[in-house]
Amino acid sequence: MKFKLVISEKPSVSKSISAVLGASKRENGYFIGNGYIVSWCAGHLLELAPPDSYDEKYAKWRYADLPIIPNKWKYVALKEKSAQLKILTDLMNRADVDCVINACDAGREGENIFRAVYNHAKCKKKIFRLWISSMESTAIKTGFDNLIDGAEYENLAAAASYRERADWIVGITATRLFSVLYKQTLNVGRVQSPTLAMLVKRDSDINAFVKEPFYMITHKDTSFAVS
Domain boundaries, the chain: 3-153
Q: Is the pLDDT of residue 180 over 60?
A: yes
pTM, two decimal places: 0.84
- The pLDDT, as a whole number, for residue 225 is 56
Contact 106, 132 (CB under 8 A): yes
- Directed axis angle between helix 82-92 and helix 108-120, to 10°? 70
Q: Residue 172 is which amino acid?
A: I
Contact 46, 38 (CB under 8 A): no
* 3-class secondary-structure state, position 99: strand
pLDDT digits (tens, 9 = 90+) for 45-94: 999 999 999 999 999 999 999 999 999 999 999 999 999 999 999 999 99
- The pLDDT, as a whole number, for residue 219 is 75
Which alpha helices (H) appear in the chain, and where do they start and end? 11-21, 82-92, 108-120, 137-145, 154-182, 192-207
Q: Which CATH class is domain 3-153?
A: alpha beta
- The pLDDT, as a whole number, for residue 204 is 94
Please give the share of the chain, as a percent, with pLDDT higher than 90: 88
Which of the four pLDDT bands, split at 50, 70 and 90, describes residue 218? confident
First and final CA of the chain: distance in angstroms?
A: 98
- The pLDDT, as a whole number, for residue 186 is 93
pLDDT digits (tens, 9 = 90+) for 81-136: 999 999 999 999 999 999 999 999 999 999 999 999 999 999 999 999 999 999 99
Please say whether the dihedral angle defined by the alpha carbons of residues 196, 200, 205 and 207, taken in this order, is positive or negative. Answer: positive
* 3-class secondary-structure state, position 185: coil
- Directed axis angle between helix 137-145 and helix 11-21, to 10°? 70
Distance CA 213, CA 227 (A): 42
For Cα atoms 86, 131, 154, give the angle at the middle one, nearest 5 degrees: 70
**Taking phi first (over 0 means left), then psi (-120 to 50 degrees means alpha), and beta for anything else, what does residue 35 get?**
left
Contact 68, 51 (CB under 8 A): yes
